[in-house]
């Protein structure tokens, strides 16, 4: 993705469930000033860097300590597209540990996009990508957009998964692919931008085909708002 494309979707605000940000989570969460909401999930083995990736994207921070996620968490970020649509992203950070799978896979169902992540310094995490995709197939509606992410690209000296293997797998599966670093922030923004763009694209195709906005989340009360034309 070019820098120009990356600038198409601009963040305007973030917040998190942990409430560490300036504004209270409830205020942000109840903010109805957006055109549509996308639910996105981060999945992959424990330790690949899902929580770090989300922390970098939403708060521009990196924590070198490993605090394994218990169950599931989320953060909220609002982005604005070039045509001035405000999109609220609800990004769910899932625990990679096997014991939480029953809980976390329940959240797959209504996800509109997945970042499937492996760690370029960990062969097993790469080999397990197919298992994660199997879980997506099993537990989602099958219409979600998926991007493959090789994280920890800053650890070149510890790399065990060559970039070409990531590219080949993504090509085989028909997904976009990024190598990124939650530590340096390299390609973090671009990865989310690509996923949001893919969801927007799919939604506009759905609207064109069916005159419907399948997948959008109602903006207020029970009223389903008209099309999100992002
Ligand atoms: N060098 C480097 N370290 C990273 C990067 N991303 C994450 N880490 C480190 O890797 C460890 C695991 O990161 P987490 O983000 O907690 O991993 P996770 O995928 O959320 O793990 P679970 O919550 O157990 O599923 C932490 O010590 C992070 O600091 C990165 O891009 N580069
Ligand atoms: Mg985590």
String of DSSP letters for 120-133:
TT-HHHHHTHHHHH
**Could you name the CATH architecture of 3-208?**
3-Layer(aba) Sandwich (3.40)
54 alpha carbon, closest ligand: 1
Q: Residue 34 has what pLDDT?
A: 87
Task: State the average pLDDT for the chain.
Answer: 84
Q: What is the pLDDT of residues 79-90, one digit of tens each?
A: 998 888 999 999
Specify the DSSP class assigned to residue 60: S
Is residue 67 within 8 A of residue 51, CB to CB? The reply is yes
Atom in ligand 1 nearest the alpha carbon of residue 67? 16
Which ligand is the nearest neighbour of the Cα of 65? 1
- Per-residue pLDDT tens digits for 8-56: 455 555 555 443 333 334 444 556 788 899 999 999 999 999 999 999 9
Counting residues of the chain whose pLDDT is more than 90, the rounded percentage is 69
- Band (pLDDT 50/70/90 cuts) for residue 219 is very low
- Lining residues, ligand 1, CB within 6 Å: 46-52, 63-66, 68-69, 95-97, 151-152, 154-155, 181-183
How far from 42 is each of 8, 39, 205, CA to CA, in Å? Answer: 22, 10, 24
Q: Which of 53, 66, 69, 101 to mutate to test the pocket of ligand 1 (most atoms within 8 A of CB)?
A: 66
Where in the chain are the domains?
3-208
Distance 65 CA to ligand 1 centre (A): 8
In whole angstroms, what separates CA 206 from the centre of its chain? 21
């Amino acid at each position: 993705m070019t820098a120009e494309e990356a600038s198409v979707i601009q963040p305007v605000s973030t917040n998190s469930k942990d409430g560490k940000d300036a504004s209270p989570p409830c205020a942000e969460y109840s903010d109805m000033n957006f055109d549509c909401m996308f639910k996105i999930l981060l999945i992959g083995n424990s330790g690949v860097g899902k929580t770090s990736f989300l922390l970098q994207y939403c708060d521009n921070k990196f924590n070198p300590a490993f605090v394994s996620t218990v169950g599931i968490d989320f953060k909220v970020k609002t982005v604005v597209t070039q045509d001035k649509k405000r999109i609220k992203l609800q990004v769910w950070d899932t625990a990679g540990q096997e014991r939480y799978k029953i809980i976390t896979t329940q959240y797959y169902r209504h996800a509109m996009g997945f970042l499937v992540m492996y760690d370029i310094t960990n062969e097993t995490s790469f080999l397990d990508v197919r298992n994660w995709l199997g879980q997506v197939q099993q537990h989602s509606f099958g219409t979600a957009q998926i991007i493959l992410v090789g994280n920890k690209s800053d650890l070149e000296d510890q790399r065990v998964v060559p970039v070409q293997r990531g590219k080949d797998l993504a090509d085989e599966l028909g997904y976009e692919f990024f190598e990124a670093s939650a530590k340096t922030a390299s390609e973090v923004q671009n990865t989310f931008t690509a996923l949001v763009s893919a969801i927007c694209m799919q939604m506009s195709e759905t609207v064109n085909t069916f005159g419907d906005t399948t997948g959008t989340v109602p903006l207020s009360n029970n009223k389903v708002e008209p099309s999100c034309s992002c």
